[in-house]
Amino acid sequence: MTGAGGILAAWLSPAIWLALPALFLAQGSEALWAGLLVVAAPLLARHRANRNVQGFVKGAYAAAIGTILGACVLLGRIAIGDWLTIFIGVAALVALFRWKVSNPLLMAVTAVAGLIAFPLLHPAWVMVK
């Protein structure tokens, strides 16, 4: 069990104070952030009109978006290595924004395209042996 699911399971268990330390040690920082979210969400909802809370939420939202974009850049440098991966990425973006294709369908189609193309092209830049 990971993250929020583990927190919820520990929260519902009768021996919560025994389960939480083990859960935090096992899950690492993911469980810590999920636990803080479980604790902080009711407090943030209660003080929704407070301008300081609104500023905090906007800042956290911006930080999350920046982190996700940074991860996308790093993963893109690893994943894009030839003309086919560039084409698949651009086609996926066009399909996503032009026709509002669902994410699971988009991922399935691009995964199948990659699985079909990999044995045909044998790209040297891929780190899989």
Segment 68-95 mean pLDDT = 87
Instruction: State pLDDT tens for residues 41-60.
Output: 787 778 888 888 888 888 88
Note the pLDDT of residue 94. 92
Percent pLDDT > 90 in the chain is 7
Question: Under the phi-then-psi rule, with left for phi > 0, alpha for psi from -120 to 50, and beta for the rest, what region is 73?
Answer: alpha
pTM for the whole thing? 0.51
Q: Find the mean pLDDT for residues 87-103.
A: 89
Are 14 and 3 contacting, i.e. CB atoms less than 8 angstroms apart?
Answer: no
Average pLDDT of the chain is 76
Q: 7 versus 80: which is more confidently predicted? A: 80
Q: Are 39 and 12 in contact (CB under 8 A)?
A: no
